[in-house]
Amino acid sequence: MTAVTGNMKELIVIDAITKTYHLGEVRVEALKGVSLGIHEEEFTIIVGRNGSGKSTLLYQLGLLDRPDSGSIFFEGREVSRISDRHRRHLRLTYLGYIFQDYALISELTALENVMVPAMMLKNRTDAREKARSLLERVGLGARLNHLTRQLSGGEQQKVAIARAMVNDPRVIIADEPTSNLDSIAAKDVLKTFEMINNEHGHAIVMVTHEQEETMYAKKLIRLSDGRMQ
């Protein structure tokens, strides 16, 4: 299931996925048959209110969870039912995931945090060089050897962006990356996303509940009550 829209290849296809959570006796239908496509070089922003299912959708996209039904295709290959080993490999090489709370390792410096996933594929020297160049690109060239606790929230999120980019993924997924940041830092992070989308050509899928951030989107998806609007 691969399509080409104009010049842009369809990287990810989500086809009628559903996801239901059971919180004790309460049944929460987080996704009710969502379908969408992610194209290369696209900056997709998913918006919706709290509880609309946008984070759940992102977990399915990021291969951090499996849908109850429906299918997910990465460049035509069905990935929702493949083994954990293959999903891990796709998370390492095909996807870059950015968490809301940065999820950096506090004992590592900015450079070392970015190096870790790169060391799975490259030798240490190459991983270091790649991490250094990405951190310089996101404006943290002077903060390479700072521990994460010595960085501001915006800087930590930029480290997380560099870490997501380090293995040259096709798609970068960001889960409310600005929600813990002040407006200036948030703008800075969004500009960074815009830059990496334009200059590096990574497809970006970002979830937010801030309406004003949708101005960065090349494609906007609205979710409400587990359905696309």
Partner 1 sequence: MIGEWKIPFFLVVRYLRRGSKWTFSFIVLLMSIAFVNLIFVTALFNGIIEAVNNQVIDTHMGHIYMLPPEGSEYLDGIGAVSDRIQSLEKVRGVSPHLYVPGRIMYKNISGNWQIVAIDPDKEKTVTNVSKNMIEGAYLEKGDTDQIILGRQIAGGKNVEMNALSFRGARTGESVVLDVGGFRKTFTIKGIFHTRFLDTDKRAFISRTFLDETIPGMSGVASSMIIRIDKTGDEKKVIRLLEKMKIPGKLFSWNEVAGYLDSVTKSFTHINTLLTMVGMLIAAITIFIVIYVDLSSRRQQIGVLRAIGIRPSLIRFTYVLQTLVYSMAGILIGLLVLLHGIAPWMEKHPFEMPIGDAALVIDYHDLLFRAVLIIIVAVLSGLTPVFIATKGKILDAIFNR
Residues of this chain that bind partner 1 (CB under 8 A) = 59, 62, 64-65, 88-89, 91-93, 97, 99, 103, 105, 107-108, 112, 115-117, 119-120, 122-124, 147, 163, 167
Residue number with CB closer to partner 1 (6 or 24): 24
- For residue 114, give the nearest of 149, 85, 156, 76 by alpha carbon: 156
Q: Which is nearer to partner 1, 39 or 104 (CB)?
A: 104
Return the sign of the alpha-carbon dihedral for residues 18, 35, 47, 43. positive
- For partner 1, give the closer residue by CB, 113 or 178: 113
Least gap, CB of 120 to partner 1 (angstroms): 6
Minimum CB–partner distance for residue 21 and partner 1 (Å): 11
Our measurement of the distance from residue 177's CA atom to the centroid of its chain's CA atoms, rounded to an integer in Å, reads: 9
In the complex, minimum distance from the CB of residue 229 to partner 1, in angstroms, rounded to a whole number: 25
Of 11, 6, 74, 37, whose CA–CA distance to 228 is shortest?
37
Nearer to partner 1, 65 or 194 (CB): 65
Buried b / exposed e over 37-56, threshold 16 CB at 10 Å, is bbbbbbbbbbbbeeebbbbb
Provide, rounded to whole angstroms, the least separation between the CB of residue 150 and partner 1.
11
Phi, psi dihedral angles at 144 (to 5 degrees) = -55, -45
Interatomic CA distance for residues 191 and 24, integer angstroms: 41
Least gap, CB of 8 to partner 1 (angstroms): 25
Phi, psi torsion values for 176, nearest 5 degrees: 40, 60
Which is closer to partner 1, CB of 77 or CB of 88?
Answer: 88
Pairing of strands 8-23, 69-74: antiparallel
Q: Please say which residue, 65 or 210, places its beta carbon nearer to partner 1.
A: 65
Q: CB of 182: closest distance to partner 1 in angstroms?
A: 24
